Amino acid sequence: MEKEICKKWSFRGNEKLNINTTDTIGGTLYWLRKTCGDNEDERPLIPLSNGDPAIFPCFRTSLVAEAAVVHALQSAQFNTYCPFFGMLPARRAVAEYLSKDLPYKISDDDVYMTLGCTQAIEVIVTVLASPGANILLPKPGFPTFEARCAFSDLEYRHFDLLPDKGWEMDLDAIEALADENTVAIVVINPGAPCGVVFSYDHLKKVAEIARKLGIVVISDEAALPQILHDTEKEYFANCINLMRKGANILYDRIKEIPCITCPQKPEGAIFVMVKLDPSLLEDIDDDVDFCYKLAKEESVILMPGVVVGVKGWLRFCYAIEAPDLEDGIDRIKAFCQRHAKQTHIKDH
């Protein structure tokens, strides 16, 4: 009997999509949390990298929103397949809500519903990804855009957000980067991860440039009929006050730590970028090394800036319980004092 010859697998993955998981937000968070889990620190983990405030009791989802989801489930009216672009009551609610701040009315046909922003990015990038096209993305920004562009074979080009100008978009760079194949520009406002809220004048200039270039503006801005109509204004006001308090605590306390600086107090979103100066620290090479050793020694998780496109920076999330934020900053301060070079005063 002849020996059977096994044929090699005839499929292989798309090599263009191979990425280092530690270069993604999710992969980096997993790596840092695992680092905390491997240490012997009995103190609670302080997740200053977290982008999901609802895990904290002070940011619990509105009871109106919870009740609306329960009601929709129990009504038995929505347990079937729905249109892929969203159900009419939800689209109509969004159209009515957005029309309040516009000089014209949006109809439900203008609204396309997706399962979160990740799917929205997937849809819009897929639509725009014609052969040879390119898209302009902010740096720092949201890595999902780059990942989806790579998947769709859409070239992306980065323009800088300028920290010395309040993280405004580099308008000159936008015009220089664009060519006849540019199809869109992404604007994130409020600006995650920098915490900036762009002024009307700045956004108007961006719109004028987009009109001049003939490109689409993809505006990334912050279930539905009952949630939008019935949620008390006090709920939103309370969330804003909590975030304002966190932003003030972070901005003021950062000044106590010589090796990190915050160029601007956050105005919106839930994140802020701070500049790291590793030259003031012993055995800290860069932002990734800083975050790894901080997690290992202090059980505090920060996001290295390189993950969102800017090496040498750190991304903080201030949408967290105030006592935890204070504790986290205390630990970061202790970490920096412990690693401070001897030529610098440690008891700053």
User: What CATH number did the domain enclosing 77 receive?
Assistant: 3.40.640.10
Residue span of the structural domain in which 293 resides:
15-59+233-338
Q: Is residue 255 part of a domain?
A: yes
Q: Is residue 28 part of a domain?
A: yes
Can you give the pLDDT of all 348 residues of the chain as single tens digits? 556 667 777 777 766 666 555 567 778 888 888 888 777 778 888 988 877 888 888 888 888 888 988 998 898 888 888 888 998 988 999 999 889 888 999 999 999 999 888 899 999 999 999 999 999 999 999 888 998 998 899 999 999 999 999 999 999 999 999 999 999 999 998 888 888 889 999 999 999 999 999 999 998 876 445 555 666 778 778 888 888 999 999 999 999 999 999 998 988 888 999 999 999 999 999 999 999 999 999 999 999 999 998 999 999 999 999 999 999 999 999 999 999 987 654 555
Q: Is residue 345 part of a domain?
A: no
Give the list of residues 6+ apart from residue 52 with CB closer than 8 angstroms, or none: none
Q: Do 103 and 199 belong to one domain?
A: yes
Global pTM? 0.80
Instruction: Give the end of a domain, one of 185, 203, 227.
Output: 227
Alpha helical stretches, state H, 10-143:
25-38, 63-74, 88-99, 117-128
Find out whether 186 and 218 touch, Cβ atoms under 8 Å.
yes
Q: Do 248 and 271 belong to one domain?
A: yes
d(CA 306, CA 164): 19
Q: Do 190 and 282 belong to one domain?
A: no
